[in-house]
Amino acid sequence: MNKSKNKILLKIFVWLIAEIILNFVGLDDLADYSEYIFEKNLVMINTL
């Protein structure tokens, strides 16, 4: 249980740092758009 909690906290920490860096550089919108495209493809696959 403790390992899964640490893994989740690590993922959140990495995501947060990535968001801060991308926002500082000005690429946050690009990253959000790529996430939108990826999720759109997943939804299309799940509905088939």
Output the tens digit of pLDDT for each of the chain's 48 residues: 688 889 989 988 988 888 888 788 877 777 677 677 766 655 555 555
pTM of the model: 0.53
* pLDDT score recorded for residue 10: 92
What domain range includes position 20?
A: 2-47
* pLDDT score recorded for residue 45: 58
Q: How many domains does the chain have?
A: 1
Displacement of CA 14 from its chain's centroid (Å): 9
Give phi and psi for 34, each to the nearest 5.
-65, -35
* pLDDT score recorded for residue 41: 59
Angle between helix 28-47 and 2-25 (nearest 10): 130
* pLDDT score recorded for residue 24: 85
Q: What value does the CA radius of gyration of the chain take, rounded to a whole number of Å? A: 14
> Would you report the helix, strand and coil content of the chain in percent, each value rounded to 5?
90, 0, 10
